[in-house]
Amino acid sequence: MPARLFVVEGARNVFLETVKRGEYDSFDGAVDFEDKDKPVTVVLRLYEVFGGHAQARLRISSHLPVVKAFTTNLLEDEDEELYLVRSADEDSADGARDSSISLGFRGFEVKTVKLVLGALPPSPSSQKRISKRSSWVNVDQDQLLAL
pLDDT reported for residue 63: 87
Q: According to the model, what pLDDT value does residue 35 have? A: 67
Residue 12 has pLDDT above 80, yes or no: yes
In angstroms, the CA 141 to CA 127 distance is: 8
**If you average pLDDT over each of 79-88, 89-98, 102-111, 127-136, which comes out highest?**
102-111
Label the pairing between strands 66-72 and 78-82: antiparallel
The verdict on residue 54 lying in a domain is yes
Question: Does residue 136 sit within a domain?
Answer: no
Reported as a single tens digit per residue, the pLDDT across 97-128 is 789 999 999 999 999 999 999 876 555 555 55
- The torsion angles phi and psi of 18, rounded to 5 degrees, stand at -135, 140
Residue 100 is part of which domain span?
Answer: 6-122
60, exposed or middle or buried, with CB in 10 Å at 0-12, 13-18, 19+? Answer: buried
Structural domains of the chain, count: 1
66 lies in some domain: yes
Asked if residue 24 belongs to a domain, the reply is yes
Residue at 128 is within a domain: no
Distances in Å between the Cα of 6 and the Cα atoms of 22, 98, 125 are 16, 10, 24
- For 94, what's the count of Cα atoms within 13 Å in the CB-facing half-sphere? 11
3-state DSSP assignment of residue 20 = strand
Residue 129 lies in a domain: no
> Has this prediction a pTM greater than 0.85?
no
Instruction: Print burial letters for 73-96: b (CB count within 10 Å at least 16), e (below 16).
Output: eeebeeeeebeeeeeebeebeeeb
Q: Is residue 63 part of a domain?
A: yes
Strands (E), the chain: 6-9, 14-21, 40-48, 54-60, 66-72, 78-82, 85-88, 97-105, 110-117, 129-130, 139-140
What's 58's domain CATH number?
A: 2.60.40
pLDDT per residue over 19-60, tens digit each?
A: 999 988 877 766 666 666 678 899 999 999 999 999 999 999
For residue 35, tell me if it sits in a domain.
yes
